[in-house]
Amino acid sequence: LRCSDGDCLFTISVTNGSEKRIVGTKFVMIKLK
């Protein structure tokens, strides 16, 4: 988890095993299995 200038980079794991990176301060880490 990397944060800069108030914006944090979150990694979201999806069911197909792919990873999406979303930049935002209000996002949370979600893991789907």
**pLDDT tens-place string over residues 1-33:** 455 544 455 555 445 555 555 555 455 555 544
Domain ranges of the chain: 1-33
Please state, in angstroms and rounded to a whole number, the distance separating the CA atoms of residues 9 and 16. 21
Q: Is the pTM of this model over 0.85?
A: no
Amino acid at 4: S
- Cα angle for residues 12, 7, 32 (degrees, 5° grid): 10
Half-sphere exposure of 23 (CA within 13 A, CB side): 5
Determine the pLDDT at residue 1. Answer: 46
